[in-house]
Amino acid sequence: MSESLLEVENLHTTFGTERGDVHAVDGISFRVEEGEVFGIVGESGSGKSVTALSIMGLVDAPGRVDADAIRYRGENLLDASENEMQSIRGGEIAMIFQDPMSSLNPVMTVGEQIAEVARHHGDYGESTDFLSEMKRKYVTGTATGSRSWQRAVELLDTVGIPDPEQRAQEYPHQLSGGMKQRVMIAQALAAEPSVIVADEPTTALDVTIEAQILDELLSLRDEFGVSVVLITHDLAVVRETCDRVAVMYAGELMETAPTRTLFEHPSHPYTNGLLKSIPKVNDDREWLDSIEGNVPDLIDKPAGCPFRDRCDSAFELCQKPLVSYPGEGVDHEVRCHLYNDAVEVDGDEAVAVADDATEIIEQRSDAGRPVGGESL
Amino acid sequence: MGMKRYLAKRVAHSFVVIYVVATTVFFAVRAIPGDPARMMLGGDASAEAISALRQEMGLNQPMYVQYFRWMAQIATGDLGNSIFTDQTVLARLAGVAEPTLSIAAIGMTIALLIALPAGIVSAVHQNQIEDYVATVVSFLGISMPGFWIGIILLITFADLWPVLPAFGYVSIGEGIVPWFQHVILPALAVGLPYGGILMRMTRSSMLEVLNEDYMRTARAKGLNSRLVLFKHGLQNALIPVVTIAGILLGVLVAGVVAVEIVFGIQGLGRLLIRSIERRDFPVIQGAVIVISFVFVFMNLFVDMLYTAINPKIAYGGRE
Amino acid sequence: MSTRDRLLNAVDLSGRRVFGIRTDLVERFARVLGRDLRAQVGFTIVVLFLLAAVFAPEFAPYDPMAQEYGILQSPSLSSGHPFGTDSFGRDMLSRLMFGARISLAVGLGAVTFGAAVGIVVGMVAGYYGGWIDDLLMRTIDVMWAFPWLLIAIMLVAIFGQGFWNVLFAVGFAYIDDFARLARGEVLAIREEEFTMAAKSIGLVDREIIFEEVFPNTVAPLIVQFTVFSARAILAESTLSFLGLGVKPTTPTWGALLGQGRGFITQAWWISIIPGIAIMITVLGINLFGDALRDAFDVKEADET
Q: Are residues B131 and B273 in the same domain?
A: yes
Q: Per-residue pLDDT for A78 more than 70?
A: yes
Q: Say if B250 falls within a structural domain.
A: yes
Give the model's confidence band at A264: pLDDT under 50 very low, under 70 low, under 90 confident, else very high: confident
| CB proximity A134 to B under 8 Å | yes
Q: Per-residue pLDDT for C302 more than 60?
A: no
Q: Write the CB contacts of A155 (distance below 8 Å, at least 6 apart in sequence).
A: A114, A186, A189, A190
Write the single-letter amino acid at B132: Y
Spell out the SS3 assignment of chain B: CCHHHHHHHHHHHHHHHHHHHHHHHHHHHHHCCCCHHHHHHCCCCCHHHHHHHHHHHCCCCCHHHHHHHHHHHHHCCCCCECCCCCCEHHHHHHHHHHHHHHHHHHHHHHHHHHHHHHHHHHHHCCCCHHHHHHHHHHHHHHHCCHHHHHHHHHHHHHHHCCCCCCCCCCCHHHCHHHHHHHHHHHHHHHHHHHHHHHHHHHHHHHHHHHCCHHHHHHHHCCCCHHHHHHHHHHHHHHHHHHHHHHHCHHHHHHHHHHHHHHCCCCCHHHHHHHHHHHCCHHHHHHHHHHHHHHHHHHHHHHHHHHHHHCHHHHCCCCC
Write the single-letter amino acid at C140: I
Q: Say if B277 falls within a structural domain.
A: yes
Q: Are residues B103 and B59 in the same domain?
A: no
Per-residue pLDDT of A195-221, as tens digits, reads 999 999 888 788 888 888 888 888 888
Final residue in a domain of this structure, among B75, B103, B136: B75
Q: Say if B83 falls within a structural domain.
A: no
Residues of chain A with C-beta less than 8 angstroms from the C-beta of B212: 102
Rounded distance, CA A248 to CA A264, Å?
Answer: 18
The residue range of the domain holding B34 is: 3-75
Q: Say if B84 falls within a structural domain.
A: no
A97 closest CB neighbour out of B213, B231, B232 = B213
The fraction of chain C above a pLDDT of 70, given in percent, is 70
The ipTM value here is 0.85
Q: Per-residue pLDDT for A145 more than 60?
A: yes
* Residue spans of alpha helices (H) in B248-280: 249-262, 268-278
How far B209 CA sits from the closest chain C CA (Å)? 14
Give the model's confidence band at C202: pLDDT under 50 very low, under 70 low, under 90 confident, else very high: low
Final residue in a domain of this structure, among B41, B75, B109: B75
Cα within 13 Å of Cα(A364), Cβ side:
24
Give the model's confidence band at C77: pLDDT under 50 very low, under 70 low, under 90 confident, else very high: low
Strand ranges (E), chain C = none
| CB proximity B308 to A under 8 Å | no
Contact check, Cβ <8 Å, B258/C272: no
A187 closest CB neighbour out of B219, B221, B236 = B221
Tell me which of A99, A107, A196, A197 to substitute to probe the interface with B (most B C-beta atoms closer than 10 Å). A107
C282 closest CB neighbour out of B25, B143, B246 = B143
Q: How many helices and strands, by DSSP H and E, does chain C display?
A: 14, 0
Final residue in a domain of this structure, among B20, B44, B75: B75
Lowest mean pLDDT: which of A90-94, A309-313, B12-16, C212-216?
Answer: C212-216
For residues C179, C181, C187 and C190, what is the CA-based torsion angle, rounded to 10 degrees?
-90
Give the model's confidence band at B21: pLDDT under 50 very low, under 70 low, under 90 confident, else very high: confident
Chains adjacent to B (≥3 CB pairs closer than 8 angstroms): A, C
Q: Per-residue pLDDT for C88 more than 80?
A: no
Q: Which of C239, C241, C233 is nearest to C50 (CA)?
A: C233
Q: Per-residue pLDDT for A122 more than 80?
A: yes
Lowest mean pLDDT: which of A281-290, A336-345, C258-267?
Answer: A281-290
Q: Per-residue pLDDT for C127 more than 80?
A: no
Give the model's confidence band at A244: pLDDT under 50 very low, under 70 low, under 90 confident, else very high: very high
The pLDDT value given to residue B293: 80
Q: Are residues B68 and B191 in the same domain?
A: no
Give the model's confidence band at B40: pLDDT under 50 very low, under 70 low, under 90 confident, else very high: low
Tell me which of B148, B211, B256, B261 to substitute to probe the interface with C (most C C-beta atoms closer than 10 Å). B148
Q: Give the pLDDT mean for C112-141.
A: 85
Write the single-letter amino acid at A105: N
Contact check, Cβ <8 Å, C143/B20: yes
Q: Write the CB contacts of B215 (distance below 8 Å, at least 6 apart in sequence).
A: B209, B228, B232, B233
Q: Tell me how many domains chain B contains.
A: 2
Which of B:239-258 have CB within 8 Å of A? Answer: 239
Per-residue pLDDT of A54-73, as tens digits, reads 999 898 878 889 888 899 99
Contact check, Cβ <8 Å, B235/A107: yes
Q: Say if B271 falls within a structural domain.
A: yes
Give me chain A's average pLDDT, please: 85
Q: Give the pLDDT mean for B207-231.
A: 92
Q: Are residues B45 and B100 in the same domain?
A: no
Contact check, Cβ <8 Å, C238/B273: no
Q: Are residues B124 and B178 in the same domain?
A: yes
C238 closest CB neighbour out of B140, B249, B258 = B258
Q: Give the pLDDT mean for A94-100.
A: 90
The pLDDT value given to residue A168: 92
Contact check, Cβ <8 Å, B220/A89: yes
Q: Give the pLDDT mean for A285-298.
A: 72
Rounded distance, CA C207 to CA C47, Å?
Answer: 35
Tell me which of A99, A103, A148, A200 to substitute to probe the interface with B (most B C-beta atoms closer than 10 Å). A103
Rounded distance, CA B233 to CA C74, Å?
Answer: 53
Q: Are residues B176 and B127 in the same domain?
A: yes
Q: List the CATH number of the domain containing B195.
A: 1.10.3720.10
The pLDDT value given to residue C206: 58
Instruction: Look up residue A79 and give its DSSP letter.
Output: G
Residues of chain C by 3-state class (helix, strand, coil), percent to 5: 70, 0, 25
Q: Are residues B71 and B98 in the same domain?
A: no
Q: Are residues B177 and B247 in the same domain?
A: yes
Q: Are residues B267 and B225 in the same domain?
A: yes
Q: Are residues B149 and B239 in the same domain?
A: yes
- CB count within 10 Å of CB C87 equals 17
Lowest mean pLDDT: which of B67-76, B247-256, B273-282, C64-73?
Answer: C64-73
The pLDDT value given to residue C40: 82
CA distances from B264 to A177, A360, B89, C147 (A): 61, 92, 21, 21
Q: Are residues B266 and B209 in the same domain?
A: yes
The pLDDT value given to residue C213: 58
Lowest mean pLDDT: which of A171-180, A230-239, B107-116, C213-222?
Answer: C213-222
Q: Are residues B178 and B103 in the same domain?
A: yes
B28 closest CB neighbour out of C154, C244, C287 = C154
Contact check, Cβ <8 Å, B311/A107: yes
Cα within 13 Å of Cα(C16), Cβ side:
14
Nearest CA in chain C to B17: C142
Q: Per-residue pLDDT for C298 more than 50?
A: no
How far B269 CA sits from the closest chain C CA (Å)? 9
| CB proximity A8 to B under 8 Å | no
Contact check, Cβ <8 Å, B151/C257: yes
Q: Per-residue pLDDT for A340 more than 70?
A: yes
Q: Say if B86 falls within a structural domain.
A: no
Q: Say if B319 falls within a structural domain.
A: no
Q: Say if B310 falls within a structural domain.
A: yes
Nearest CA in chain B to C241: B258
| CB proximity A204 to B under 8 Å | no
Lowest mean pLDDT: which of A227-236, B18-27, C288-297?
Answer: C288-297
Which of B:206-225 have CB within 8 Å of A? Answer: 212-214, 216-224
| CB proximity A174 to B under 8 Å | yes
